[in-house]
Amino acid sequence: MNDDDDVNPPIEQPPQPATSFGGEETTSVVSQDAAGDAVETVHKRRSPAAIATLIVGVLALVGGGIYAANNLVGTKSGAATPEDAARAFFASIANEDVLGLLDSMVPAERDAFREPLTEMRTQLVRLGALRKDFNLAHIEGINVNFQDLKFSTDRLSENVAVVGAIAGKESYRIDPQQLPLGTFVRDLAGEALTGPATFGSDTIDPTDDAKVAVVQKDGRWYWSLGYSIAESSREDSGAPAPNFGHGLAADGRESAAAAIEAALRAAVALDFETLIGITDPEEDAALHEYAPTFLAEAKALASNAAGAFRASITNLQLATEPKEGGVALVTIKHMEFKAGSTDGKFAVNFDGECFTSKGLGELFPPKLCTDELKQGVGLPQKQAHVGFIAVQRGGLWYFSPVRTILDAVNATLKIMTPQDLDQVKNVLGRFRQAA
């Protein structure tokens, strides 16, 4: 494929005069499609990066699918050059192919998402949030196309680059009625998912900021969610690029429990350097690389906060449950937490089910159990088995933020039933009416 090849042929769009809306060129017209249904056409400058965010958001929401878990292992992935990695990224978006996005993602990040998201998809289908025929190889209701894409590559280091689409054409069509969403989501969204399809097209130029960060691992290039977020944040802040290969050193522990204890104590003490050091150096490689660009500012903020508020964990008891593949779930059995501020001192204890507090007055009840919290928001009274995920790298253990979040979501979904979702829907409905 050369620079003038199509990623997908363009969607035909009726030309309309441009009008201004929110600082972007947009046009809108209501017409009829082949079936005679009303179709609203909106022409608006949307960079491929915005469409990429949409597809990656679907990835984060619905998971990698059983197909991904069974078929991505052992396949040859990655690309020969940074530009080829970016082409694979945009091609997967154009094909509405979440599996392709997973396959071309840097392996350590992909592994963090794959199994938890597989389970999430299963649970969301069971609960009626997704349709049973949901297909991650081609998501219905979304059609994104690119034509004549040209790229520019900025090599930040030997193994890190940012590739941007600087020319070409893009088009999209989103039909909310065709999205593979289940009855729970459709009932909750109401008329928002019953409207006509929207579609549009535009040309791409360098100002669209349609970029993706790619990294080289074992001679192959992959797109990276972590590096893309980090590089975008760095550019927005105006900070200089990091000295790649000289980021914050990994600081693992001898056991999973020791890693999680270090992370918890560092978080409470606002010790960002220790907290970042204890995160997974492979899954969170971008965080380690870019830490020197923001750590000084973070430490200054922590120092200022310490003048008005200090906290520490005085007693911590953890339990470890080994999982497959050098992964462990670490849960809190008991924790005592003390803090002081200009307004006084207080203490909070947690025994795994209930919080008890002293010194908080009316801000917090003397005793509050998790079942009371769940009842307040309509969640089932059963206790979700949640904790912190640690991973082993080179004989040492590290905290995995992504796996921890996804595992907690799955643990909550597993104990829920469709009837529980109906209760959640009723609670949200009451909130809407009150607002």
Q: Between the CA of residue 285 and those of 104, 122, 250, 362, what are the distances in Å?
A: 17, 29, 9, 43
**pLDDT at residue 341, rounded to an integer:** 78
User: Which domains occur in the chain, in start order?
Assistant: 19-225 (no CATH), 256-434 (3.10.450)
Choose between 22 and 53: higher pLDDT.
Answer: 53
pTM of the model: 0.78
Choose between 62 and 156: higher pLDDT.
Answer: 156
pLDDT tier for residue 102 given thresholds of 50, 70 and 90: confident
Which two structure tokens, joined as six digits, stand for 112? 């963090």
Average pLDDT, the chain: 81
pLDDT one-digit tens code per residue, 362-418:
777 888 887 766 565 555 567 788 999 999 999 999 999 999 999 999 999 998 888
**pLDDT at residue 4, rounded to an integer:** 44
Residue appearing with tokens 């649970």: 123
pLDDT one-digit tens code per residue, 320-357:
999 999 999 999 999 998 988 777 788 888 887 888 88
pLDDT one-digit tens code per residue, 47-90:
444 444 444 444 444 444 434 434 444 345 799 999 999 999 99
Least confident of 127-141, 254-268, 314-328: 127-141
Based on the number of CB atoms within 10 Å of its own CB, is 7 exposed (0-12), middle (13-18) or buried (19 or more)? Answer: buried
pLDDT tier for residue 422 given thresholds of 50, 70 and 90: confident
Could you tell me which of 37, 10, 13 has the C-alpha nearest to residue 26?
13
